[in-house]
């Protein structure tokens, strides 16, 4: 502990001087797999005209021949010398990753040390989730974050587009979703909740919300594709779906009195109209998102109304279900088959492990790591996003100095300490696709606040996903993060002030059990 405090103090003193040193691969995030530095400095041209790309080098092909296919596609070699810059790759994607590494060096300082880099990612999935349902921030915000992900050599953006607090994507077949439940009263989720969940429309002066038109989505997807970032849409089911029941009460569970229950948290799995609704919505979603994955939620179904719903009880009897949880498994398996037949793979939160996991399903482990460990041992692909490490709506410093947040203190150092394969038998490591940081937005209504929570902790997630575990070291990373934060601020991002992070946060993770830290 004393050594850690000493190192932190020394690095804080030295970091200011380091901000003005020459740039090079030793200063970027994520850290490259291999690099060498040599005497000499090259001044990069801002227009990139001094960069030459080579996509058919036999020497480079031999160098990457033993890498996994996903790593080959993103691998690059980069050379900076007195005649300029050369980038070698097998694909345009690999060349782009090399250009982004070079761009980060240029942003740190256009004078770059002569160097040689050989680089490729540790994991294929390196992502961030943005919760647009609880807090709608709009197209400009999303495009800006795509630029940040590209600079960090990340490759997935997960958009949480539907939830009880608002439906955020245009669906032609069901216009009420955007006409009636894309707008609410109350900027902050808990304000809306306290008022009794009032929805409204865009003409209301007190309306908060919005949605993405199909043209917005096409623009976002195209913008991301240019930067070799895939977008995963999430359409929640069967829980987190009160907004659907409010927009279309005829889809709601029906009580013994024959009346719909439009305030139900869950979709009515016993209603055939609900199944047709979901299939129709997903057909329109698939037209917009070309990536092979569709996230279907699957978490936190309350199941209370299913106990009294005449349609759900009938479905349970017809399917021979002895427990209401069987309804969730029934829906997940039906939707998985529907999407698989159309060339898509479902992702579900780890609750889907408990209700009969479809053979082709990918699991996103959020309730710590047990769900991912179990799913991988069952032969399923897994994306690790445990709330114990990579939930970015949690406090990143002492509660008394931070905006209101969720959960315990999850500092930069704690996030960086995560290894996605920890606790998983080596024989199942190939099922761990990677990791993802999740930014839930019940308490985060504004873009500047969202960026404050994202950066620099997204830097840590980028390095975990890219850099080999044995080449990661926190204090060296933190020094690089201090410099990169200055770059992000110069680009207009509102970041956490890492220079004023408390020593308690710098030296570990503290639990929050309801008392101020």
Pairing of strands 84-88, 111-119: unpaired
Residues 349, 446 within the same domain: yes
Q: What is the pLDDT of residue 391?
A: 98
Catalytic residue status for 240: yes
163 is catalytic: yes
In a domain, residue 7? The reply is no
Instruction: Please answer whether residues 169 and 211 qualify as being in contact, where contact means their C-beta atoms are separated by less than 8 angstroms.
Output: yes
**Of residues 73, 119, 131, 163, which has the active-site annotation?**
163
* pLDDT score, position 21: 66
| Shared-domain flag, residues 62 and 179 | no
Q: Which CATH number is 74's domain given?
A: 3.30.379.10
pLDDT confidence of residue 408: 85
Q: How far apart are CA 69 and CA 74, in angstroms?
A: 9
Are 99 and 156 members of one domain? no
Instruction: Please indicate, yes or no, if residue 39 is contained in any of the structural domains.
Output: yes
Give the domain-ending residue among 92, 119, 146: 119
Q: What is the pLDDT along the chain (517 residues), one digit of tens a residue?
A: 555 544 454 445 444 444 446 999 999 999 999 999 999 999 999 899 999 999 989 999 999 999 999 999 999 999 999 999 999 999 999 999 999 999 999 999 999 999 999 999 999 999 999 999 999 999 999 999 999 999 999 999 999 999 999 999 999 999 999 999 999 999 999 999 999 999 999 999 999 999 999 999 999 999 999 999 999 999 999 999 999 999 999 999 999 999 999 899 999 999 999 999 999 999 999 999 999 999 999 999 999 999 999 999 999 999 999 999 999 999 999 999 999 999 999 999 999 999 989 989 999 999 999 999 999 999 999 999 999 999 999 999 999 999 999 988 999 999 999 999 999 999 999 999 999 999 999 999 999 999 999 999 999 999 999 999 999 999 999 999 999 999 999 999 999 999 999 998 988 655 544 333 3
Q: What is the pLDDT of residue 359?
A: 86
> Which candidate in 240, 380, 408, 431 is catalytic?
240
> Do 158 and 86 belong together in one domain?
no
Q: Are residues 308 and 411 in the same domain?
A: yes
**Judgement on whether residues 105 and 227 belong to the same structural domain of the protein:** no
Whole-number Å distance between alpha carbons of 472 and 449: 28
**DSSP H or E segment with residue 184:** strand 183-185
Catalytic residue chosen out of the listed positions 300, 334, 402, 449 = 300
pLDDT at position 13 is: 44
Q: Check residue 4 and give its pLDDT.
A: 54
In 3D, which of 421, 362, 359, 417 has the Cα closest to residue 388? 417
Give yes or no: residues 113 and 137 share one domain. no
What is the Cα–Cα distance from 149 to 141, expressed in whole angstroms?
13
Q: Which residues constitute the domain of residue 64?
A: 23-119
Buried b (16+ CB within 10 A) or exposed e, 188-224: bbeebeeeebebbeeeeeeebbbbbeeebbeebbebb
145 and 279, same domain (yes or no): yes
| Angstrom distance (rounded) from CA 269 to CA 435 | 31
Task: Report pLDDT for 508.
Answer: 63
């Amino acid at each position: 502990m004393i050594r850690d405090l000493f190192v932190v103090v020394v690095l804080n003193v030295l970091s200011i001087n380091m901000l003005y040193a020459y740039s090079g691969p030793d200063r970027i995030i994520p850290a490259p797999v291999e690099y060498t530095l040599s005497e000499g400095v090259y001044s990069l041209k801002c227009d990139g005209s001094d960069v030459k790309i080579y996509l058919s080098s036999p020497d480079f092909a031999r160098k990457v021949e033993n890498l996994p296919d996903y790593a080959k596609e993103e691998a690059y070699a980069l050379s900076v010398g007195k005649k300029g810059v050369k980038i070698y790759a097998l694909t345009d994607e690999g060349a782009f990753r090399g250009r982004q590494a070079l761009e980060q060096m240029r942003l740190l300082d256009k004078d770059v040390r002569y160097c040689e880099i050989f680089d490729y990612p540790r994991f294929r999935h390196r992502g961030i989730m943005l919760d647009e349902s609880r807090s709608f921030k709009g197209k400009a915000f999303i495009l800006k974050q795509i630029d940040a992900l590209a600079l960090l050599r990340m490759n997935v953006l997960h958009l949480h587009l539907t939830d009880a607090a608002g439906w955020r994507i245009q669906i032609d077949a069901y216009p009420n979703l955007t006409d009636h439940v894309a707008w609410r009263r109350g900027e902050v989720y808990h304000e809306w909740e306290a008022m009794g969940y009032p929805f409204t429309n865009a003409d209301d002066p007190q309306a908060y919300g919005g949605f993405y038109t199909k043209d917005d989505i096409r623009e976002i997807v195209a913008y991301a594709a240019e930067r070799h970032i895939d977008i995963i849409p999430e359409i929640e089911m069967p829980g987190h779906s009160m907004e659907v029941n409010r927009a279309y009460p005829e889809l709601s569970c029906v009580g013994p009195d024959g009346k719909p229950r439009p305030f139900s948290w869950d979709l009515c799995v016993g209603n055939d109209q609900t199944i047709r609704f979901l299939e129709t919505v997903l057909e329109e979603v698939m037209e917009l998102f070309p990536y092979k994955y569709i996230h279907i939620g699957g978490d936190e179904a309350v199941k209370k109304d299913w106990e009294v719903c005449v349609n759900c009880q009938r479905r349970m009897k017809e399917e021979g279900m002895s427990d209401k949880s069987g309804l969730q498994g029934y829906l997940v398996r039906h939707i998985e088959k529907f999407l698989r037949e159309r060339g898509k793979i479902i992702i579900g939160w780890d609750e889907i492990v408990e209700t009969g996991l479809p053979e082709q399903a990918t699991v996103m482990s959020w309730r710590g790591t047990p769900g991912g460990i179990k799913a991988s041992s069952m032969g399923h692909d897994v994306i690790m996003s445990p709330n114990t490490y990579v939930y970015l709506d949690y406090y990143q410093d002492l509660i008394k100095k931070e905006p209101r947040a969720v959960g315990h203190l999850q500092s930069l150092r704690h996030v960086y300490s995560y290894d996605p394969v920890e606790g998983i038998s080596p024989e199942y490591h190939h099922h761990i696709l990677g990791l993802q940081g999740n930014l839930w937005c019940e308490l985060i209504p504004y873009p500047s606040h969202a960026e404050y929570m994202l950066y620099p902790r997204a830097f840590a997630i980028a390095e975990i996903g890219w850099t080999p575990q044995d080449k990661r070291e926190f204090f060296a990373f933190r020094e690089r993060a201090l410099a990169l934060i200055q770059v992000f601020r110069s680009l207009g991002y509102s970041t956490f002030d890492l220079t004023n992070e408390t020593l308690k946060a710098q030296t570990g993770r503290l639990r929050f059990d309801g008392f101020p830290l």
